[in-house]
Amino acid sequence: MDNRVYTEEAGLDGEVHRLSVEDDYTAFALCYPHPRCRELERRVEALLSDGFTSLVEYGRSILNYRVVGKGYASIAVLAWNKYYGLGLLKIRRLDSRRESFEYEGMILDYLDKTGYTPTLYLWHRDYIFMEYLHRCIGIDKALDQCIEGRDRECLKKIVKRTVRALYLFDKLGVDHGELNRPYEHILWCSGEVKVIDWESSRLRSKCHNLTSFISYLVYRYRFRREAMELLGIELEEVIHTLRLYKKSPSIKYVLQLLGD
């Protein structure tokens, strides 16, 4: 079956580009922010040896090309691999301060068993290939929908499932490092929580994943007052609970706060 057929079956209208040094989209994705580069041939050879056959031009427009996303360290595109099928290829930018993606790949491999991160397929110093989470919304938008609908059970469900995921990361000793902005890193995917972008994570004896999210919810979330009212909690209760959690991390404190 043609790669395009698989892409269309996934509900994506992307244009398939055969992975080749002659292909302009391949050069754009692998050499970003430069149109072409000396590393192009080496990167194409590495991808081909890992089973990649094509890139899929899909997403928002950047410099007249479409990509899924762009960050300070990487650019993300869809790719087709003959062993794993369609997935997200996160490519290290040539101007990135990070010398390798191997650390992030190892963290994702370690966390893969939790089910709260995108399924990891493979990683290399210059790229990571993983599950593409395309039926998801940011955690802030998911919370907004509950607030706007005055749906207490919806809100409790999302908060509890997020708390359980972040507690597990805390217990495993991996601190994400950027969950003070959870709307960029926590996704709500048809009832499941997924946490992405682990390049800034650290292995720590004391992690702040859960406390960072709760602090965002009650201090910086735009509907924080409405959220606390709907959940039936007071700020003083939250502060007390977070203090208990920091002293002796246990999910029971937070679940009790949420009425479990």
Quick one: average pLDDT of 108-127?
97
pLDDT band at 34 (very low <50, low <70, confident <90, very high): very high
Please write the tens of the pLDDT for every residue from 203-226: 999 999 999 999 999 999 999 999
CB atoms within 10 A of CB 182: 25
H/E run at residue 122: strand 120-124
What pLDDT was estimated at residue 233? 95
Is a pLDDT exceeding 60 seen at residue 8?
A: no
What pLDDT was estimated at residue 7? 56
Q: Where in the chain is the domain with CATH 1.10.510?
A: 137-257
Q: Cα dihedral angle (238, 243, 244, 250), rounded to 10 degrees?
A: 80
> For residues 6 and 241, which has the higher predicted lDDT (pLDDT)?
241
d(CA 79, CA 36): 19
Is a pLDDT exceeding 50 seen at residue 232?
A: yes
Please write the tens of the pLDDT for every residue from 57-68: 999 999 999 999
What pLDDT was estimated at residue 4? 52
Quick one: average pLDDT of 132-136?
92
Four-way CATH pick for 137-257: 3.40.50, 2.60.40, 1.10.1060, 1.10.510? 1.10.510
pTM of the model: 0.91
